[in-house]
Amino acid sequence: MSEGNNSQGGEKVPNIEDVSKENLKDVLGICSGNTPSEDPVLEKGRELKRRWLLDMLERYGPCAKIAYLDEKPVAQILFYPEETMPYIPNPRKDVIYLKCIFNPVPEAQRRGVGGALLKALIDECHTGLDCLGGRPCRFMITRPFPHEGYLPLNEFYEKYGFAQGHREMFLEIEGKYVPAEIPEYRPLPEDRGRIILTHNPDCEWGYFLVKTARELIQDKYPDLIIETYNSWEKPEEYKKRPHLPLVMASTIVNAQFVDSSVFWIDQKAYLRNVEDAL
């Protein structure tokens, strides 16, 4: 799908394109703020996401859209069928998981770019999506990130018809919303006295969090057992410790969940949370 760079009321309309092998680097650039990095951990995260995107393209078709202004990639929307997530028990058929909308470019913010991306996806959910074999979507679900930018994501999604469901937001398309079957997390005896760090390959920052958190913890507790895994490569490990689908990464300490989101705000506070759980 592509939309031209026309103007509406003096504002340029973003050109929306599906991700492809040719523009794959644009998605990776947007997620990293279009800035180069010499950090080998972040570069490894980018490589993991690049390989994940290529695999999704080959197996299911486009699972991201890119917004361009003046031919510059400025924002992206990432989505895929819930059935493709290997670590989810009882995935819902023909349901699209909207992972994120990300617009890091200041000159592209508050100009309707995120809305244009979401509208393009909603339109295809009605007419048929390549990643669903050309079928329409029954409903779309999302789990908003913590508030960043001008408008909390839950309020942004509400503007486009999303409603609050069971631990997720949803938008009905061609069917009725059915809540997810989320098994209750039960601490495993084998996780006592150790740390489990999990990440998804669909976000390079998840790998960055896991690797950086591991180093922080090991510096203070060098003898502590720390396990890390990719939930798409080792879905059985996730299924042993079921919880909400990963937005980015998760931390289990001494068989207890620790809030990973604070890592981005205050790494010392994250480490204190780990210490409290130990």
CATH of the domain at 39: 3.40.630.30
- Does 1 fall in a domain? no
Place of tokens 């959910």: 125
**Do residues 253 and 185 lie in contact, with contact meaning Cβ atoms separated by under 8 Å?**
no
Q: How far apart are CA 267 and CA 81, in angstroms?
A: 33
* Rounded alpha-carbon distances, angstroms, from residue 211 to 49, 161, 226, 261: 15, 37, 11, 15
> Is the per-residue pLDDT at 233 higher than 80?
yes
- Radius of gyration of the CA atoms of the chain, in A: 19
The total number of structural domains that make up the chain: 2
pLDDT higher than threshold 60 for residue 149: no
Determine the structural domain holding residue 258 and report its residue range.
189-277
Q: Is the same domain home to 167 and 48?
A: yes
Co-location of 75 and 156 in the same domain? yes
Residue 263 — φ and ψ, nearest 5°? Answer: -55, -40
Beta bridge partners of 97: 80, 141
Q: Are strands 72-81 and 225-230 parallel, antiparallel or unpaired?
A: unpaired
Per-residue pLDDT at 2: 47
- Whether residue 238 lies inside any domain: the answer is yes
Please give the pLDDT value at position 1.
46
* Same-domain check for residues 217 and 168: no
Rounded to 5, what percent of the chain is helix, strand, coil?
Answer: 35, 20, 40
Structure tokens at 187: 């601490």
Domain boundary among 145, 172, 199: 172
53 lies in the same domain as 90: yes
Residue 38 scores a pLDDT above 80? no
Residue 56 lies in a domain: yes
pLDDT value, residue 7 = 52
User: pLDDT value at position 234?
Assistant: 94
Tell me if 182 is assigned to some domain.
no
Decide if pLDDT at 264 tops 70. Answer: yes
Within this chain, do residues 97 and 233 fall inside the same structural domain, yes or no?
no
**Rounded-to-integer distance, Cα 24 and Cα 21, Å:** 5
**pTM: predicted TM-score of the whole model, two decimal places:** 0.90
Q: Give the C-alpha separation, 259 to 274, whole Å.
A: 9
Give the count of alpha carbons within 13 A of 210, CB side only: 26
